[in-house]
Amino acid sequence: MLINTVEVNAESELLAFIEEINKAQTLAWSVLLIKKECLKEISNNAFILAVKSKLLDATRAEVFFLDQLVCIAWLGMPAQIRRNLRELITTSLLRENVSENIDEIITYYDPQVMGNELSIAIKARLKNTSAQPIKAAAVETKPHRTLVLESSPKRIENFKRLQSKRTLREKLHILIVEDQAFTRKLLYDVLKNTYEVASAESVERGWQLYLETVPNIVFLDIELTDASGHLLAAKIKEIDPASFVIMVTANNSVEDVQVAKQNKVAGFIAKPFSKQKINEAIEKYKASKGAR
Amino acid sequence: MNDSVNLANLREMTGGDVEMEKELFEVFISSSEEAIASLSANILPETSETWRKQAHALKGISLSLGAEKLGDLCKKAQECFQNTAETKAKMVADIKKEYERVKSYLKEL
């Protein structure tokens, strides 16, 4: 993926770009505007380096450095990348003593805001900014960073405490780790009325939620955006030998089955899954609960 | 049901909850458009891995919805991720065409 930061002629370039993506009639571009005065003084390249690590599998990205604003536009994964960028900005890129509300500092336009509405909104936001062309270099990004799943001793201690009470719950706790919003929502909606359900869109978030919720059952996708689901399955088994993880996948490769067996997962469900398959997995957990 | 979409499995999952289905259709449409736009932008060899992932993602949600023909086209696209840009451009066109049929069907419900 390439972040295109061509020679920018401030607003006119940005508005031309907005017109271009409007013409493409796609619902895929997200746009984020950040108040420059609230950001730390770092070079444009340093800013791009920080941002690019959060763009994951975005297929294109454009960064515009304006006089009073920085604009990041990207193609793909709106919600996840928005969260990543917001977290990056709030934790690492803001000046100290910034007292403004974060929503005043960051303006986000999701991919549903397109056409004239987006143009008008951007123009309104730019109204009081003056053009200062700034040149920035193009930077190539790697599709994935190396993911290391860590946990503090305190979190592990808390996990162990909850772990001992897991089998005493009235309602089973289920964790869904699935990057596809549609499949995640489908599974969540099906289970939510009967069980306590949490869901995560990435391996990293799934690991955090595993430690926090200590679920009875995990439905885990294999091909996730930030890393393989096998990594999470192995990590879970390492910390929690009594875990009950069901791999859910549209791929049925021999390699995946072998790795899953090595990780001692409780089962496999092929996509598209049926309600019956999900219920069978839950019944399997219930049946094994005494033995585990 | 038409020849593009078979909602039988999805309806069994949702228990016929119309609101839930409506929300799922919306998520399907936005996710699909995102994936198709990404496929279009990644037909060149240097981004073939992104192409493969997007085809895989679209395959998964299409099959979960019951859009089997679309799922099959995406499966083929996923398997042929190292094909030429010309072949991939043709594949995206076919995927878009089938996606539009699925979308029209969902909008009519």
Domains and CATH numbers, chain A: 2-140 (3.30.70), 153-288 (3.40.50.2300)
Tokens found for residue A123? 């123009």
Do A232 and B38 contact (CB within 8 A), yes or no? no
* Model pLDDT for residues A250-261, shown as the tens digit of each residue: 776 778 888 888
CATH number at residue B68: 1.20.120
Sign of the C-alpha dihedral computed for residues B54, B60, B65 and B70 taken in this order:
positive
User: How distant is the Cα of B48 from the closest Cα of chain A, in angstroms?
Assistant: 11
Query: A71: helix, coil or strand?
Result: strand
Smallest Cβ distance to A272: which of B14, B41, B64? B64
Label residue A95 by pLDDT band (50, 70, 90): confident
Mean pLDDT of A96-111: 79
B3 in a structural domain: no
CA-CA-CA-CA torsion sign (A246, A249, A252, A254): negative
Asked if pLDDT for residue A131 goes beyond 50, the answer is no
CB-CB neighbors (< 8 A) of B60 in chain A? 180, 183, 250, 271-272
Residue B69's pLDDT band (cuts 50, 70, 90): very high
ipTM value > 0.95: no
Question: Residue A153: is the preceding peptide bond cis (ω within 30°)?
Answer: no
Domain-embedded: residue B1: no
A74: closest CA among A87, A85, A58, A88? A58
Q: Is B17 within a domain?
A: yes
CB spacing of A143 vs B37 below 8 angstroms: no
Domain that holds residue B99: 8-108
For residue A223, which amino acid is it? Answer: E
Q: Is the pLDDT of residue B51 over 70?
A: yes
Alpha helices, H only, A29-95: 44-52, 78-88
- Judged by CB atoms closer than 8 Å, whether chains meet at A274 and B13 is answered as yes
* Whole-structure pTM value: 0.64
> Is residue B61 in a domain?
yes
Is B37–A76 a contact, with Cβ atoms under 8 angstroms apart?
yes
Cβ B61–A183 below 8 Å, yes or no?
yes
Residue environment code for B3-29, b if the CB has 16+ CB neighbours within 10 A, otherwise e: ebbebebbeebbeeeeebbeebbebbb
- Going by pLDDT thresholds of 50, 70 and 90, the confidence category of residue A220 is very high
Q: Angle B7-B13-B19 (CA atoms, 0-180°, nearest 5)? A: 80
Asked whether residue B27 is assigned to any structural domain, the reply reads yes
Which residue, B75, B73, B62, is CA-closest to B105? Answer: B62
DSSP symbols for A158-207: HHHHHHTTGGG-SS-EEEEE-S-HHHHHHHHHHHTTTSEEEEESSHHHHH
- Mean pLDDT for A87-92 is 86
What is the average per-residue pLDDT within A118-127? 74
B103 lies in some domain: yes
